[in-house]
Structure 1
Amino acid sequence: MDLKGILSSPQVSSTSYDKVIYFQADRYPKTAAHIEYAIDKGKSAICTIDCDGAEENRSQSLKGIPTKKGYDRDEYPMAFCDEGGTDVDIEYVKPADNRGAGSWISHQVNDFPDGTKILIQVK
């Protein structure tokens, strides 16, 4: 879904977020596909940063989801988002793609304080 499509959806308006992150699908294709899939299924395209809640969110989101040899359990919305935790979408993704994507996103939001609303746009 492109930015125009996201902004025209009833749950997102240009005043409902503070920043936009353009997630690089060509660098992390499996994670990008998961983000798009989860948003298409109704998960929020907006992430409200909540770094203090990340550990608890991760614990809730991965509870009961078995590990799979050679794969990470990718969660969307991500654990550092207030929208993370229970009722997230989980996909099995190869570690290089998932961890690279996690590191990249981390660097994008590192300077934003908790409470910042980020629109995630896959590009």
Structure 2
Amino acid sequence: MKPKFLKVLAAAALPLLFAGCSQVTTTEKPQESTPESAQVNYDVKIDFPEDRYPLTAKHIKDAVEKGEDPICTIDREGADENRKLSLKGVPTKPGYDRDEWPMAMCEEGGQGADIEYIPPSDNRGAGSWVGNQLESYKDGTRVFIEVQ
């Protein structure tokens, strides 16, 4: 995973680099309340259902507030390695899953991801929901995930 400084620098520089371009790669503009880091280009936005998976939603919000990226660049092939790197040194806890943000299936995931202990029903339900939402998108698709 790249250092957060480079992500912030890239987030600030990209709009300047492409200011004169006429093609927009976003399908929807972020709302005013969108975190600054999400105001970079993305391909699709999904609204994560806080009412269905409240503990995972809280983890996503908390991680983004701490500086993690709300955008996931789909990288299914890198998921196993990202999971291994993100969970390294984080012990298991009986009755809980170790939830990662950014998710292991995201290019942004891996070493340095924010980890939270979440009950399996919430965490696995959330993972299944996200997987279903993203199954038709190819690797490389940039997804803005907003908790609603």
Q: Give the TM-score, by structure 2 length.
A: 0.78
Q: Which amino acid aligns with 2:110?
A: G
- For residue 26 of structure 1, what is the aligned residue in structure 2? 51
Unaligned 5+ segments in structure 1 are none
Q: Which amino acid aligns with 1:101?
A: A
Residues matched between the structures, number? 119
- Any conservation in 2 of the 1:17–1:46 contact (CA below 8 Å)? yes
Pairwise mapping of residues 68-87 of structure 1 onto structure 2 (< 5 A)? 68-87=93-112
- Any conservation in 2 of the 1:3–1:121 contact (CA below 8 Å)? no
Deviations 1:71-110 (A, max 9, x none): 0000000000000000100000000000000000000000
Unaligned 5+ segments in structure 2 are 1-29
Distance in 2 separating the partners of 1:6 and 1:104:
22
- Any conservation in 2 of the 1:74–1:98 contact (CA below 8 Å)? yes
Rg larger in structure: 2
- Greater relative contact order structure (CA < 8 Å, 6+ sep): 1
- For residue 5 of structure 1, what is the aligned residue in structure 2? 33
Q: Which amino acid aligns with 1:12?
A: A
Q: Which runs of 4+ in 1 moved over 3 A?
A: none
Q: Give the TM-score, by structure 1 length.
A: 0.93
Query: In the TM superposition, what is the alpha-carbon distance from 1:49 to its structure 2 partner?
Result: 0.2
Q: Which amino acid aligns with 2:33?
A: G
Deviations 1:47-75 (A, max 9, x none): 00000000000000000100000000000
Query: In the TM superposition, what is the alpha-carbon distance from 1:21 to its structure 2 partner?
Result: 0.7
- For residue 61 of structure 1, what is the aligned residue in structure 2? 86
- For residue 128 of structure 2, what is the aligned residue in structure 1? 103
RMSD: 1.3
Is the aligned partner of 1:88 residue 2:123?
Answer: no
- For residue 49 of structure 1, what is the aligned residue in structure 2? 74
Q: Which amino acid aligns with 2:86?
A: S
Distance in 1 separating the partners of 2:54 and 2:109:
21
